[in-house]
Amino acid sequence: MLKSRIITAVILLLLLLLILFVLPDAWWAGVVVLLVVQGVLEWSRLSKMSGKNAYIYAGLTLVIMSALVWFDATHTSAERIIPHLLIYAVSALLWLFVVPTWMITGWKPQNQLWLGLVGWAVLIPTGLAMLDLHAINPQPWVLLLLMGLVWVADIGAYFAGRRFGRHKLAPSISPGKTWEGVAGGMAGASVYMLTIGYFSPFAALPLMLLAAWWWVGLAVIGDLFESAIKRQAGVKDSGALLPGHGGLLDRIDALTSTLPLAAMVILFGQLN
């Protein structure tokens, strides 16, 4: 299992680097649209949508994402800030208020329309953030740095949880996750940010540490939320797209709760 996870991860990383650094920028936009569509197809399965409804849902998602790409291509960066911030505000509301309340109360909604809207609130801002963060100079290093922080935290949590895990984080949602794993993720993220900060003359190390811990906290929320949705659906993985990893949502769950909020903070800074 671990071997297949590593092989798949290496292949995905090489493909990502190829798309980010070698292929034209338009390729990244196309990949992001496909990722979001694949994500909603997996979400539709977790929401127990029928085949017809799932394809309608995916088709509407394709239209929405294509419209966002077209809007960005036909408007200046200044004109895009406010509309994008409104989309990220939905994501912030979801991750900072709705999802924590959802998990604390153990709510299990069954309405497919509601679950479909939540799926859009999870995935569309994530796709938009991937586009916005990719466009920030020096591109595409900002996006890669932020994604790398999630990956390092995830790796630290995985191995710390396996080696030292004793105290369950949320046994009713995800029995395999432990507080020791969270600590490992925090440690990995801290080393990652301190290393980057050491080589950056503009970095404030205390702020970078706080950002890393805040980032890991958001990532944990995203991870737990997807686990809660899978548990409600009665499945172990969101799909079988990636050998050793499950579905796409199983790999980007932490990105859905982190990238949109990072993009929102950066865009706020551009308002001045």
Task: Say how many C-beta atoms besides its own lie within 10 A of residue 183's C-beta.
Answer: 18
pLDDT tens digit string along 3-25?
777 888 888 889 999 999 888 88
CB 181 within 8 A of CB 161: yes
Q: What's the confidence (pLDDT) of residue 244?
A: 64
Number of residues assigned to the chain: 272
Per-residue pLDDT of the chain (272 residues; tens, 9 = 90+): 567 778 888 888 899 999 998 888 889 999 999 999 999 999 999 999 988 999 999 999 999 999 999 999 999 988 999 999 999 999 999 999 999 999 888 888 888 999 999 999 999 999 999 999 999 877 788 899 899 999 999 999 989 988 898 899 988 888 888 999 999 999 999 998 888 877 765 556 667 777 788 888 999 999 999 999 998 888 887 877 777 667 899 889 999 999 999 999 999 888 86
Alpha helices (runs of H) in 75-140, residue ranges in sequence order: 77-93, 99-105, 112-135
| Whether the Cβ atoms of residue 230 and residue 238 lie closer than 8 Å to each other | yes
Q: Are 181 and 158 in contact (CB under 8 A)?
A: yes
Please list the residues that pair with 31 across neighbouring strands.
none
CA-nearest of 205, 202, 40 to 121 is 40
Q: Is 65 exposed, middle or buried (0-12, 13-18, 19+ CB in 10 A)?
A: buried
Give the separation between CA 82 and CA 137, rounded to whole angstroms: 20
Residue 174 β-bridge partners: 170
**Is residue 212 within 8 Å of 192, Cβ to Cβ?**
yes
User: Can you read off the two tokens belonging to residue 126?
Assistant: 């994530």
pLDDT for res 245: 67
Q: Residue 193 and residue 35: Cα distance in Å, rounded?
A: 27
Angle between helices 112-135 and 77-93 (to 10 degrees): 140
CA 92 from centre of chain: 13
> What are 196-235's pLDDT values in tens digits?
877 765 556 667 777 788 888 999 999 999 999 998 888 8
pLDDT at residue 174, as a whole number: 85
CA distance 124 to 140: 20
pLDDT at 2: 64
Instruction: State the pTM of this model.
Output: 0.92
Which residue type occupies 268? F
Contact present, 122 and 2 (Cβ < 8 Å): no
* Sequence ranges of the domains in the chain: 2-270
Calpha distance 210→213 (Å, rounded): 5
Contact 28, 134 (CB under 8 A): yes
Q: How far apart are CA 64 and CA 265, in angstroms?
A: 23
Tell which residue, 183, 178, 174, has the closest CA to residue 156: 183
Which one-letter DSSP state was computed for residue 242?
B
